[in-house]
Amino acid sequence: MSTITTISRGGLTASIDSMGAQLTSLALNGNEYLWQADPAFWGKHAPVLFPIVGNLRNDFAESTQGPCHMGRHGLARINEHKLVATSEDGSSATFEFVSSDQTREAFPYDFKLNMTYALTGPASLTQTFSVTNTGSVNLPFSVGGHPAFNIPAPGGAEAGETFEDYEFHFAEPWTAACPKIVAGGLADPTDTFTPVNQADALPLTRDCFAYDTMIFDHVPGNTISLVGKKSGHGIQVDFPGFDFLGVWSAPGAPFVALEPWTGHATYTTEDDILEHKEGITILAPGKTSTSSFTITLLGK
């Protein structure tokens, strides 16, 4: 049975569900920034993506250890995680998900995934993925976050903002060539669209999601913010070590997901060998790989 753990620091609180180790609330002074999983649009908040990000072709891949059968975004989001540690001051919590006979049927590898949520500033939460290879062979995997945020952000509606009054900000002007999502995965990597062209800002419109998701590759400074033009309220995500960023919203939905990834769905030009996929990390036996991103809430 899943349980909810709440951590706090000053006016900042976060809640995590042990089912999937999923963040379910991120509030500042009682104002909720995280999408609250309205099933009319999308019944999730912020799934943990492991050991794959996106989908395998036909939910299948071969690997050095045998066949892998996994749906979109892998196993972590659909399994219970054990709460294994909380800090004395109540500002952080760590969950654990380990391989089992059941997981090995889908993904024939041994692993331990620790997810730590820590309130690292007066308005900041850091989410850390720690993957340990507990087996005797190399472990191929990707990790990713999928947090979705209410748009307008708290305080935005009071300032008269709508969805289209928000804007993405980048660290410097750049051009982004994003792959198109097609049936079964991603189109040929040369078949792209360009939502950002020598600019450091991108207005938020529904047209941003004409191809479902904007998948950015090597975002300048590994940082992005989404800010209301009138209120100045919004979200910043800093994701050092994550080469990809997915930005997604459901049709007509009042949220935007900002998703740091180390990998992505299968290209139509890739084969079906897991170890060959772009962005796959290969972790030696006994080793641990750690990566973190930080969400900062902008506004009061």
Domains and CATH numbers, the chain: 4-298 (2.70.98.10)
> Which residues in 69-106 are b (16+ Cβ under 10 Å) and which e?
ebeebbbbbebebeeeeeeeeebbbbbbbebeeebeeb
Binned at pLDDT 50, 70 and 90, residue 1 comes out as confident
Question: How far is CA 296 from each of CA 33, 126, 128, rounded to the nearest angstrom?
Answer: 10, 9, 15
For the segment 88-118, what is each residue's pLDDT rounded down to a tens digit? 999 999 999 999 999 999 999 999 999 999 9
- Please state the length of the chain: 300
Residues whose CB falls within 8 Å of the CB of residue 263, separated by 6 or more in sequence, listed in order: 52, 53, 54, 142, 143, 144, 244, 277, 278, 279, 280, 281
Cβ-based neighbour number of residue 207 at 10 Å: 9
What pLDDT was estimated at residue 21? 98
Rounded CA-CA distance 4/267 in Å is 37
Mean pLDDT for 258-270 is 96
Residue given tokens 């998701």 in the structure block: 213
Cis geometry, peptide bond prior to residue 51 (ω within 30 degrees of 0): yes
Mean pLDDT of the chain: 97
Binned at pLDDT 50, 70 and 90, residue 174 comes out as very high
Residue given tokens 């800093």 in the structure block: 238
**Residue closest to 98 by CA, chosen among 51, 138, 44, 147:** 51
> Which residues in 155-176 are b (16+ Cβ under 10 Å) and which e?
bbbebebebebbebebeeebeb
Contact assessment for residue 21 and residue 81, using Cβ atoms and an 8 Å cutoff: yes
Residue given tokens 């019944």 in the structure block: 43
Stated pTM of the model: 0.97
For the segment 13-59, what is each residue's pLDDT rounded down to a tens digit? 999 999 999 999 999 999 999 999 999 999 999 999 999 999 999 99
